[in-house]
Amino acid sequence: MPLEHLPPEDPRVWLNRARSNLARAKARIPEAYPEDLCFDAQQAAEKAIKARFAVVARYPGLAEPVTDTQYQEAVAGAAAVVRWAEASLA
């Protein structure tokens, strides 16, 4: 099913792009290098995270200010991703 094109200030744009990258990563295209599919997986994770705060940073005034709880959740999520990356490289 094709993904809907949304206005650039809509955070769902990032989620749609994340879903697109994830679909390509999961497709296991025989003609594609596994490294390129891993890059799509990384991009999916990055774009999914951007859906939460990229719009707020890019288009100030469109959303309510970030709460302390949202800030703490963002930092905790980032820390979890960094820990995962560190463990993957160990």
Nearest CA-CA partner of 11 in 45, 59, 44, 43 = 59
- 17-75 confidence digits (pLDDT tens): 999 999 999 999 999 999 999 999 999 999 998 888 777 777 777 778 888 998 899 88
- Full-model pTM: 0.73
> How high is the pLDDT of residue 31?
95
**pLDDT at residue 82, as a whole number:** 87
The residue ranges of every structural domain in the chain are 12-64
pLDDT over threshold 80, residue 86: yes
Round to whole Å and give the CA distance between 15 and 27.
18
Q: How confident is the model at residue 16 (pLDDT cuts 50, 70, 90)?
A: very high
